[in-house]
Structure 1
Amino acid sequence: MQITYFAGGCFWCVEAIFQRIEGVVKLTSGYCNGNTVDPTYQDICTGTTGHAEVVKVEFYELKVSFKTLLNIFFEIHNPTTKNQQGNDRGTQYRSAIFYTNDEQQSQAIDMVNQMSDKIVTQIIKLDVFYPAENYHQNYFNNNSSQPYCQMLIAPKLNKYFNQ
Structure 2
Amino acid sequence: MVTIGFGGGCHWCTEAVFQPLEGVSEVRQGFIRSDGPDEAWSEAVEISFDPDRVSLRDLIAVHLSTHASEADHKMRGKYRSAVYSMTAEQQNACATHIRDLAAEAEVHFVTRSLMHRGFKPSDSRFHDYYKSNPERPFCRTYIAPKLAKLRARHSALLKKEYTTS
Match in the other structure for 1:105: 91
Please name the residue that 1:17 is paired with. Answer: 17
Give 1:111 deviation, angstroms.
Answer: 2.1
- What CA distance in whole angstroms lies between the structure 2 residues aligned with 1:90 and 1:21? 25
Deviation, 1:162, is: 3.5
Matched, 1:161 2:147: no
In structure 1, what residue type is equivalent to 2:86? Answer: T
Of 127-136 and 115-124, more deviation after overlay is shown by 115-124
Taking structure 1 as the reference length, the TM-score comes to 0.82
Query: Hey, what's the Cα distance between the residues in 2 that align with 1:83 and 1:130?
Result: 24
SS of the equivalent of 1:62 reads coil
Aligned pairs, number = 146
- Structure 1 alignment gaps of length 5 or more: 36-48
For 1:59, the equivalent position in structure 2 comes to: 49
Offset, 1:83:
4.5
Displacement of 1:64 = 1.0
Distance in 1 of aligned mates of 2:73 and 2:83: 14
Query: Matched residues in 2 for 1:103 and 1:90: separation?
Result: 25
The separation in 2 between residues aligned to 1:83 and 1:127, in whole angstroms, is 23
Which amino acid in structure 2 is aligned with residue 61 of structure 1?
P
Alpha-carbon distance in 2 for matches of 1:94, 1:60 = 25
> Alpha carbons of 1:157 and 1:8: their partners in 2 closer, same or farther (altered >3 Å)?
same
Normalised by the length of structure 2, the TM-score is 0.81
Unaligned runs of 5+ in 2: 154-165
Aligned position for 1:30 = 30
Residue 118 (structure 1) shift: 2.4
Alignment match of 1:69 (pick from 45, 59, 76)? 59
Q: Distance in 2 between matches of 1:160 and 1:8?
A: 15
Deviations 1:101-125 (A, max 9, x none): 2332122111222213222112211
- Partner Cα distance (2:81, 2:73) in 1: 7
Alignment correspondent of 1:8: 8
Identity %: 29
Q: 4+ residue stretches of structure 1 with deviation over 3 A?
A: none
SS across alignment from 1:135: helix
